[in-house]
Amino acid sequence: TRPLRLGEIARVVRDEMERVQVVDLHTHLFPPSHGELMLWGIDDLLTYHYLIAEYFQTAPRAVAPASFFALPKAFQADMIWAALFVQRSPLSEACKGVLTTLEKLGLRQELRARDLSGIRRWFAEQDPDAYCEKVFSLAGVKYCVMTNIPFDPTEAKHWRPAKKSYTRRFRSALRVDPLLKGDWETVSACLTAANYPQTLEGARQYLRDWAETMQPEYLMASTPHDFQYAGKKGNGGSCQSSKDGKKGGQEDMGQGCGVTMIDKSPKGAELLEKVLIPVAEELSLPIAMKLGAHRAVNPSLGTAGDGLVAADVGDLRRLCTAHPQVKFLATFLARVSQHEAAVLANKFPNLHLYGCWWYCNNPSIIREITAMRLEILGTGFTAQHSDARVLDQLIYKWSHSRRVIGEVLAGEYVSLAQTGWKLTREEVRRDVERLLGGAYEEFMQK
Ligand code: RAT
Ligand code: ZN
């Protein structure tokens, strides 16, 4: 409890950053109980879609994406290893991530020798359950939130008819992208297959029932690049995203109890307003929005072909205004959106910003965004989430982020200390815990 000396601040922040058990509030990870859905090990690390995209930047013309994807995963991994780690220096954040991960797992010798076979042998000896625990403890992650998509049958089978049991390291989030995309075809196919009526009320009941099954932390969706939300009283119950001017279905627009059959497809904003928001409100579940992805910019690359767009931050403002009783978690993909988003979070107590997402999850950008957020929001935001798809990535994503966020925070404390403000280690610990999970949990509870 003694005040820290100026010269001690950087070291204390570094220590506290190293020791804090973080909450990882958005990942694509699955527990070992989910079998093939759990990605881990060197071949999954090397075939991460960030690395596939980087590989194709410079791949020979003769390697067509379709033939690459038809190869066994280990072959794909070999090609990426050769191109990005042997023929070039692995300078990108995604490449360095693989190195940090292996180094922290203790595979230093194999790394030094660039011995991919040796690395594979090591992973082959690991037991998934024990390895999973090892990764969580090495990464210092208290628990992670998964992304659970009921519309995807390969996932749904792990929940119904019987829910798989898994450790407390994993929590659920119910993801509903087809709703925000206005992809009524997918939604109605799922409703039909599960014997729900093809109505808005049918869709709401479907969500309620899945929420009952999954017990999610929140409902979540990423917005399509052309998403527009007009607000509650906008054009026909906020179906502004309807580019072709069609109204969304026969159902009582604007009144919205929605039991009539739908004969035209409702659009994303309408499904948000009439399905997602009412269910969120009814079940007191926050909605996590991810804004700024432009899917399938190069469709031949699959997930690796998704790009970025500067989303309209105004959509989120209109949502927070129209639904003050609903809590929104949000993260933006474009660097240009970050400042406006921080100001918005400063105005709306029902909005919580989290993480440096995907193309922003690079040290230089994390540094800039974190400094700006601290300056505007104090500790009222969540500095990072990993978005890990491969279990082992928790190790590097958190290690890289802890370092940068710590450096930024230390700088802010030094300027505090220069005013004569006295700071203790316990206070540093409190702030660090808040930035890496505590602020999220406080927001969820309020
Ligand atoms: O970062 C990623 O892995 C992306 O492919 C997306 O999944 C993104 O994180 C998302 O959740 O939409
Ligand atoms: Zn994600």
Q: What is the pLDDT of residues 342-364, one digit of tens each?
A: 999 999 999 999 999 999 999 99
The C-alpha atoms of residue 102 and residue 230 are separated, in whole angstroms, by: 48
Q: What is the ipTM of this complex?
A: 0.97
Report the pLDDT averaged over residues 178-190: 96
**Pick from 282, 274, 287: nearest CA to 203:** 274
- pLDDT at site 156: 94
Q: Which of 148, 177, 387 to mutate to test the pocket of ligand 1 (most atoms within 8 A of CB)?
A: 387
Over 60: is that where the pLDDT of 333 sits?
yes
Ligand 1 atom index nearest CA of 177: 12
Q: pLDDT band for position 2 (50/70/90)?
A: very high
141 and 401 Cβ atoms separated by less than 8 Å: no
- pLDDT at site 263: 60
Q: Which two tokens stand for residue 49?
A: 């879609």
400 and 363 Cβ atoms separated by less than 8 Å: yes
CA angle 7, 11, 17 (to 5 degrees): 145
Per-residue DSSP letters for 385-430? ----SSTTHHHHHHHHHHHHHHHHHHHHHHHHHTTT---BHHHHHH
- The pLDDT tens digits for 70-122 are 999 999 999 999 999 999 999 999 999 999 999 999 999 999 999 999 999 99
Domains recognised in the chain with CATH numbers: 42-125 (1.10.2020.10)
- Please report, for residues 58, 95, 136, the alpha-carbon distance to residue 82 in angstroms, rounded to integers and kept in the order given: 12, 12, 29
Tell how far the Cα of 68 is from the centroid of ligand 1, in angstroms: 21
The C-alpha atoms of residue 17 and residue 9 are separated, in whole angstroms, by: 12
**Quick check: CB of 222 below 6 Å from ligand 1?**
yes
- Please report, for residues 149, 270, 301, the alpha-carbon distance to residue 179 in angstroms, rounded to integers and kept in the order given: 12, 9, 24
Q: pLDDT band for position 253 (50/70/90)?
A: very low
- pLDDT at site 250: 42
Alpha helices in 284-362 (DSSP H): 313-322, 338-347
**Quick check: CB of 303 below 6 Å from ligand 1?**
yes
- pLDDT at site 244: 38
- Helix, strand and coil in the chain, % to nearest 5: 55, 10, 40
Ligand 1 atom index nearest CA of 306: 5
**Quick check: CB of 181 below 6 Å from ligand 1?**
no
- The pLDDT tens digits for 52-62 are 999 999 999 99
Q: pLDDT band for position 5 (50/70/90)?
A: very high
Q: 5: which DSSP letter? A: P
**Quick check: CB of 323 below 6 Å from ligand 1?**
no
**Quick check: CB of 392 below 6 Å from ligand 1?**
no
Beta bridge partners of 353: 330
The larger pLDDT score, comparing residue 426 to residue 251, is at 426
Report the pLDDT averaged over residues 283-303: 98
**Quick check: CB of 387 below 6 Å from ligand 1?**
yes
- pLDDT at site 258: 61
Tell how far the Cα of 35 is from the centroid of ligand 2, in angstroms: 20
Ligand nearest to the CA of 49: 1
Per-residue DSSP letters for 359-387? GG-SHHHHHHHHHHHHHHHTT-SB-----
